[in-house]
Each structure stands twice: as C-alpha cells, then as structure tokens.
Amino acid sequence: MKRLLLFALLFLVASGARAQGFDRREDVQAFVQDMQVRHGFDVDMLIDLFRHTKPNAAVIKAIMPPKDPGVRSWQAYRGRFVEPKRIAAGRRFMQTYAAELAAAEERFGVPADIVAAIIGVETIYGKQLGRFNTFAALTTLAFDYPPRAELFRRELEELLLLAREENRSPLSYTGSYAGALGLPQFLPSSRRRFAIDFDSDGRVDLTASPADAIGSVANFLVAHGWERDAPIADIITVSGDGIQALIDEGIAPQRTPTQMEAANVGIARVGAGDTAIPDRPAALIDLVTPGAATEFRLGYRNFYVITRYNRSSFYAAAVMDLASALHASK
C-alpha cells in the first residue's frame, strides 16, 4: 500500500511537471538561481536547457523499488554476475588490455582482476552502458523523485560543472537511468573527482577509452583507502552466540578475528588448508540465501573499500568472486 501511495504521489508530481515544463517550476528556478550564485552559470542558458528537457517516466519506473521485494538471495545475486558469459567476456577484456591493467596495478596497487571484475559487473565490459540522456534522467530524479531528490540534485549540479569543464553540452551525455557514465558507471561527482586520463591522450573518456576506465577505477579504490597487497575477504564458518552482535556492527572493519573470538564467536577458514586467518581488523559479513545456509566472510579493509563503489556486501562479494574466476582463467 505504501508503495502504491508513493507511486501515485510521484505520478501526480510528474504529471504536473509535464504540463508545466521544468523551466517554469519554482524548485527548478530556485536551483538555477543557486547555480548562478555559487558557480556563475548563465541563468538564461540553464533555463533554456530545462525548457527543452521533459520528464522521463521510464526513469521513475526504473528506480522504483519492486512491488514485492521479498528476501534478497545471495546465490541468485551472485549467479547474475559470476556466470560463464561474463567470465568469458572478462577473460577477453583482460587479454586485450593486459598492458593497461598491469600498468594500473603497478601504479595503484589494485589487482588487475579486481579492476576488470568491477567493469564486468557494472557494464559487462561496455555492453550495457545505458541509453538515457543523462541530463534528462538526473533532472527527472532531482525534481520528480522525492525519496532521493537531494542526492540527484547534487549529481545534476556535478553534471553541469563537468560539462562546463569539458566544454560540452550538458545534453550530450548518455548513461544509466540513474545518471551513471561510461564503462565503470561513475556518477558525475565521481567522474569529476576520480576519473583520470590513463591513456595520456589529453582527455578523459570513460566510454571510448578502456584505458581511462581501468585507471579511473583503480584511482577511485585507492582514493577510498585501498591497501596494496592486502587481503579482501576470507570465506569462513562461524559458531557461538555472539554472531548477530558482530553482524549488527556493520561492514566497516572493527575487530580482529582474535577479538571476535573473545566475543564468543568461533571462526574457521573454508578451504584454505593450514593457512592462518590474518589477525587484522575485519567485519563479519553474512550473505543470506533463503532456504540455504548463510555464507559468512571476514571482510577486511579492501572489502569495505569495494562497498564504497556500491554500498552492498553482495556487490563486493560478487566483485571478489568474479575477480577470482578471472584470475583462475588466466
């Protein structure tokens, strides 16, 4: 019922926007004035952009939560990304861009298979870049999607700044329904802060230059705290009555395995022979599948860093597993 009410609200808001036009709306005009005051944008230019931009109903439909979300399944999620076609595409990508991946690993300390796995999860190595006009998508979400309007207004601001820096029309960008751009699917804010010209051709191009995408992903991870030559996560079994308390502490590393055991949680590594578990700060990660045993991992700092790319333990574990599959296929 709540979802239906929310959809009805969004439909009414969007319907009003279509009848009125973005350029005539008070919230849009306030945004334009703010962009003029803080960044020196020409008011008439911005108003003209909004005049020629219509709300995109497909964007609202795409971002709406499912009617019946149910319980998330780790096995189903993993199966979408760690599967033969994506692994084969990743193998080809790593062969084609072996020099660029090696250069990024040397410079940033991020393993080549992790960089390749992120690009594979995000866009299947460029096959799914998105066809939405980025300005229209972000404008629709910024003004017709109240639950996350603040986030998307910031990204709309970032897109306008990016277009000015690159001397491009804000209308010239295309990407996902949420405004993500290029092979690594950077939002405009990440595009401005972390994208780099890794092929040294004098410009940053995350769509046509896989080298730039490779370097930019590695740069993003390092900027968020990636540790060179450090572990990502260990698959483990756990026992004891302190498990839920550790899970509730979140995905940021806080306790060493020794400290976890002191909190009455027994830990054993899966399939690692006699290799000891590193006694370094970690988080207890639970990957739940309805009707199946929960998979547990110890997520170290680098696991947490991957969640800065997409704030989901499922996402970070899928990247880790796809990277492992790509590494094994070398």
Summarised one tens digit per residue, pLDDT across range 200-218 is 999 999 999 999 999 999 9
Q: How much is the pLDDT for 285? A: 98
Positions of the chain with pLDDT under 50: 1-5, 7-8, 11-12, 14-15, 17, 19
Q: How much is the pLDDT for 65? A: 84
Whether the CB-CB separation of 147 and 6 falls below 8 Å is answered with yes
How far is residue 5 from each of residues 2, 9, 52, 66, measured CA to CA in Å?
Answer: 5, 6, 30, 14
Whether the CB-CB separation of 296 and 237 falls below 8 Å is answered with yes
Q: How much is the pLDDT for 271? A: 76
Backbone torsions φ then ψ of 257, nearest 5 degrees = -55, -35
Q: How much is the pLDDT for 8? A: 39
Active site residue 83: no
Determine what percent of the chain falls in helix, strand and coil, rounding each to the nearest 5.
55, 10, 35
**Choosing from 122, 157, 158, 295, which is the catalytic residue?**
122
H or E element that contains 210 = helix 210-223
Whether the CB-CB separation of 112 and 102 falls below 8 Å is answered with yes
Give residue limits of the domains in the chain.
2-55+130-181, 233-299
Q: How many residues are given for the chain?
A: 330
Q: How much is the pLDDT for 61? A: 95
* CATH topology (fold) of 2-55+130-181: Helicase, Ruva Protein; domain 3 (1.10.8)
Strand partners, 287: 295
Q: How much is the pLDDT for 15? A: 46
Q: How much is the pLDDT for 11? A: 44
Whether the CB-CB separation of 267 and 284 falls below 8 Å is answered with no
